[in-house]
């Protein structure tokens, strides 16, 4: 059975290396840098945020009561939905909405709606 992944249909305006702020959830107000973007899921992975820890306990297996040691913790970054984070404009240092503009060389650049500075440079 294959699980169908939910596909994010919005636009991914955030990039790896962007500084973002978390808008909701238990990590609200925290700032960090995007380590990875997951455009298909509409998520970003940020250092130290929304990491789920899975514990593994030693289990007794087998008839002789042998204990298989599978101790340890697994840290799995779950990512954050892009709608729950906002970019921090490097120019005005505020949470910034972005608009897309076409740069002179024809590429798409991102512009801060507050101060009008181009975020990519």
- Binding track over 60-99 against Zn ion, x by CB under 5 A: -----------------------------x-xx---x---
Q: Between 40 and 120, name the residue whose CB sits nearer to Zn ion.
A: 120
Binding of residue 19 to Zn ion (CB under 5 A):
no
Binding of residue 114 to Zn ion (CB under 5 A):
yes
Q: Give CB contacts under 8 A, 24+ apart, made by 2-10.
A: 5/40, 5/41, 6/41, 7/40, 7/41, 8/39, 8/40, 8/41, 8/42, 8/43, 8/82, 9/42, 10/42, 10/82, 10/83
Position among 103, 108, 115, 118 found at the interface with Zn ion (CB under 5 A): 115
Q: Between 84 and 91, name the residue whose CB sits nearer to Zn ion.
A: 91
Binding positions for Zn ion, rule: CB under 5 A: 89, 91-92, 96, 112, 114-115
């Amino acid at each position: 059975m294959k699980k169908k992944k939910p596909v994010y249909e919005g636009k991914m305006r955030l990039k790896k290396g962007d500084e973002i702020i978390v808008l909701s959830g238990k990590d609200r107000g925290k700032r960090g840098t995007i380590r990875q973007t997951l455009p298909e899921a509409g998520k970003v992975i940020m250092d130290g945020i929304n990491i789920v820890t899975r514990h593994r306990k030693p289990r007794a297996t087998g008839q002789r009561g042998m204990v298989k040691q599978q101790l340890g913790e697994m840290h799995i970054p779950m990512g954050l939905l892009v709608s729950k984070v906002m970019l921090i404009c490097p120019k005005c240092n505020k949470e910034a909405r972005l608009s897309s503009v076409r740069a002179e060389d024809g590429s798409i650049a991102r512009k801060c709606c507050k101060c009008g500075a181009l975020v990519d440079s």
